[in-house]
Amino acid sequence: MPKRPYVIDEMISAKTIAARVEELSHQIHDEFSGTDKLVVVGLLRGSFVFIADLVRELDLPVEVDFIEASSYGNQTESSREVRILKDLRGEISGRDVLVVEDIVDTGHTLKHVVGLLNAKNPARLKTIALLDKPSRREVDMSADWIGFEIPDEFVVGYGIDFAQRNRNLAHIGKVRFTGE
């Protein structure tokens, strides 16, 4: 449990997120039309709500798989050390793959995961992130599709947590720490 008290100020509404997910699904459909099956690979845990909404909007045959990567733990800053806690269960060799990330911050996690997946020889591999913080980028890595570009704020909601809390918020909110 976080020891510092905080409040959450709404940054992106649930309605705005839903509209953007629908727009992104059309772009992804155009990119992958004709695929026999799109393997949607979610980076756990923060992307699970985004994945659920996104795949429901895709008019494509999809398979969903997950990788669990960690670089935050219970902190508000990335450790920059990417650990894979759970690998894919399915095979992606020769298949079309869409990697779904919650936030591209420093870029270390997405770069690490894309490298691991490309080593498995997918036919095509594209990436999508709900949120992008380009001001925090430390490596040359960005997603092919971005939901929203945001400033350098610590955010929660829509699957994204702070010490395993606030994932269930329907919106994206900025964490603001209050008095100790």
- Taking the C-alpha atoms of residue 131 and residue 151, their distance in angstroms, rounded to an integer, is 10
CA-closest candidate to residue 42, choices 171, 130, 115: 130
Burial (Cβ within 10 Å: 0-12, 13-18, ≥19) of residue 113: buried
Query: In this structure, what DSSP letter does residue 162 have?
Result: B
- Taking the C-alpha atoms of residue 34 and residue 28, their distance in angstroms, rounded to an integer, is 12
Whole-angstrom Cα Rg for the chain: 16
Q: Is the peptide bond before 45 cis (omega within 30 degrees of 0)?
A: yes
The answer to whether 169 and 158 are in contact (CB under 8 A) is yes
Catalytic residues: 105
- Taking the C-alpha atoms of residue 9 and residue 146, their distance in angstroms, rounded to an integer, is 22
